[in-house]
Each structure stands twice: as structure tokens, then as C-alpha cells.
Amino acid sequence: MKGCIIIAENELKLNLNLEDIKLVNLSTERKKDGGKIDRTNHIEILEFNKERNQIVVEYTENVTGALELNLAIEAIFSVEAEKDLTATQLEEIVKKGDIDHLAYPLLTESTQITSFITGKVLGIPTIFPPVLEDETVEDK
């Protein structure tokens, strides 16, 4: 999967190519008195390997309700930029840019895992849209 982040103020293009994605942590606990289903998620850059031009990104998701589900997914993206970047510059670019290019493959993977597990444990799959919490929070 390829993605491109373009920073308008610098006209800098940053191409991201997904190289690997894996589930690194999964825990579940069924609750007897589960209430309203709530979801929180987060994405962060764990590492920037300048020699390999790769970034490691971690996506975490926590679902509470009748089932408490916590998962973490890591992905490795190769980075192609017009000029050499430091880890700090890369992080700033990603924060200013469209984080969906990093998040989308992780979000879709998480949606599938969450749906499968909630379906098996609760009998009805819970399907969340593949969006970051910041995009869906209204009154929190």
C-alpha cells in the first residue's frame, strides 16, 4: 500500500510504502455487567531508521463494554522524501500532514480483528469505522 503526505507550506512530498503489519498485543476480558460500548484509539511513531528509511508505527485500540478488548498493531513503512529528514522533522511532517496514510491500514486491520473477536465472544460482531478517535470525538 502506498501513500503520500504533502506538506503545503514546504511543498515537500513524503511517500510512504507499507512493508509489514503485525498484531503485537491482544487481550480480552468479558464483563458480566457491560455497559455502553466505548472505543479509544491512538497512533504514534515508535522509531525512525534513517539508514533504512523506515518508520515503525504503533496503533493501539481499547474497547470497553460487555467485552474489554485491547490490541496493538505495528506497521513498518518505507519513507521516500525529496531530502534527508531527521526523526524530529519526520514526526512534525506527519503531525502536520494527513495521518490517515499511516493509520488506514492499521485501522482496517483493527476493525477486522475487533469484529471477529466480538462476534465470537458476544455473538454479535461490533464493527467500528476505520477512523482515528480524534476524528469522531464530539463531546469528550
Instruction: Yes or no: say if 60 and 72 are a contact pair by the CB < 8 Å rule.
Output: yes
Global pTM reads 0.78
Quick one: which of 30, 23, 127, 27 has its CA closest to 75? 23
Side chain identity at 98, as an amino acid letter?
Answer: D
Give the residue carrying C-alpha cell 512493508: 19
Tens digits of per-residue pLDDT, 76-105? 988 877 777 776 777 676 666 556 667 888
Under 8 Å CB-to-CB from 37, ≥6 apart: which residues?
63, 64, 65, 66, 126
DSSP sequence for 70-128: EEEEEEEEEEEESS---HHHHHHHHHHS-THHHHHHHHHHHHHHHHHHHHHHHSS----
Identify the residue with better confidence: 83 or 64: 64
Given a cut of 70, whether residue 137 has pLDDT beyond it is no
